[in-house]
Structure 1
C-alpha cells in the first residue's frame, strides 16, 4: 500500500500538471494568435491597391510591427514580432510567402506575414508553467503566425456583375501586374479599351456579351442583366456563356445606365474574366475585373468604351474564396 499511494499521487499530480499547464498554454497561444492576426491585418491595410509605384512594403511592415504592441500575453504588452512582406499565392502554389522582388503571377497577391513568439529574449520569455516544475519543466515556447492579404474577390453576389466577359489576353496588354495598376498612355491616363463586335487588339478579342449561366443569346435576356446584374452568385471556376453578336439596341441601354440621373462621368462595373471570349461557348471564370464605362455607342461603331480601374473596393462579394487582383479588391483578410 505504501508504494501504491505515492504512485497514484504522482499520476494525479502529472494529470493536474498537464491539465493546468496545457490549459494555460492554450490561452497564451490564443493571445499570440490574436496579436498575429491583428498585426497582419493592420499591415495589409497599407497594401491597398492604387499606388502607381507599387505596394508600399515598408509602410505595411511598420504598421504590422506597431500593431503588435496593442496586444498582451499573460498581462504583459507584446513588443517583438517577425514581419515579412511579399506575395501570397491564393491557389496555394507555393504555399508560402514569396519575396517582394518576384514578378507576381495571376494568383499572387500582396500580403504581410507576422509571427509572434514567446521564447528566450522575446515578449517576456517562454511561457511559465505552474505544476510542471514539479517534474523539471519550468517553461516552454509558444508561437503563432498569420498571413493577411489584399486580393481580388473569388465570388460576386447577385447583382454585382455587368454582362460583358473579357479575355485574359487583354490584361497582358493593358495591365501592370507589378504595380497592380492599368498601363498608361503617353498622357498618363489609363489606356482606352473598347468591347464590341470586331474589338480585336493584337489578336486578342477584348470581350463579348455574356448571359452568365443561361444560354440565351437574345436582347431581352441580356438587357435584363444590364439592368439587374447576375441573378445568382457567381464564383471563380463557374462556367458562363459567351454570347457573340452585335445586339445593336443594347448599347443604348448601356449608355442609359452609364449616364443615369444626369451622371456625366460614366459608371464603374465589375466584369467576369475568361480565357477565351471569341466564340459562342461555355468558359470558366478566372477572375473579376474592375472597369469604368465612359460611353457606349450603338451606331456604326457598336462598342462599349472605357478603361480598367485599380483600387476598386468590392461591394458585392459573395462567400467564395479570394481570386487574382484585376482592379477590384476585398478588404484585407486572413489567408489562413
Structure 2
C-alpha cells in the first residue's frame, strides 16, 4: 500500500464486505439485515459505507438522528432508513425524505401521528421501540394498551417494525438478564402483533446478539460495530477485519537532554537523553487528551512508541528513543494489525468512542 503523506483515515470497503458476509453467515437466509451507519458510519463515511452495503444487498439502515438520514438520501441511498432517536421538530423532514421513525414514547407517538395526518399520509411506516431493561428509550410493557388505542384511532401510520435493544449481549456474566430481556420482548411484541392482526418485522439483536443469541434473531437483526471490524470479544475480533486505519507522519524529530520537557504544562520530563517525534494530529482530530501521558502508543516502522505529555489540539508527541525513523515516515495509530480496541483500552475507553471521534477534517481514503 502506498505511503501516506498526511493524516489519513483509510477505509477498506473490502473489509466491510468481509465483515458483512461473516455476520450474514450466522443468520438464516430469511433473516433481514439492518446496517447501523450513525455517527458518520462509526467515524468513517456514512454514504460510502451505505453504498457498499446496498451493493451487498442489505435490507435496512439505521441512523441516530434525522439529519444523518437526510444525508444518506441526498447521497443516493434508497433502502429504508430507520431514525433511532427522532425529535418532534424534525417530523416534517422525516416524511419529506421518506425516513422511518422510531416511536419510543407517548409524546413521540402522538406528535408523529399528528404530523402524518397533516401530511395526509396513509399507513406511513413506523417502528415501535420497547423498553425491556436498558431504560434509555422505549415504551414500557404497561403502555401497550395506550399504543394500540392510538393506532386504532388513525390510518395515517402503520407498524412496520417492533424492536428493543439488548443491554449486555456481549457479557457472559449477564446472560440471565439478556434472557429476561428476550422473553420480555417476545411477550410484549406478541401482544401487540395479536392486536394488530398482522406481523411487523421484529428486531432485537445487535452485533453481540447476532453472535451469542441465535434464538433471538427474529425477522431482522441490527449490526453496527461488527460491520466495522469489532466483535466485542477477542475470539470474534479474529474473524473480523477493522475497516478503518488511522495513519499519519512524523512532522519533526527532537533530541532532548536529560531534564528537558515536552508539551503544555511540561507534563513529560526526560529522565535520560530522549528522542521524540511530533505528529500532525491532536484532540481536534479525535485523539483526545486521555491518550497522552504514556497511556497508549503508536507504531513507527514496526516499533511501538508511547504518546508522551499532553495531547495538543493539532499535535501530539511520541517517544521514539531507539527507533530508526526519519521525518516524513508513516505512523500507525490503529488499523488491521494494531487494534483500535487495544489503543482505546490502554487509555481506559472503548473502540466505539475512539473510532467515532475521528474528526471530519481528517482526510478519508477509500480502498475498493
Which TM-score applies when normalising by structure 2?
0.24
Which TM-score applies when normalising by structure 1?
0.26
Q: If each structure's strand is expressed as a fraction of its own residues, which one has the higher value?
A: 1
Q: Which has the larger radius of gyration?
A: 1
Q: If each structure's helix is expressed as a fraction of its own residues, which one has the higher value?
A: 2
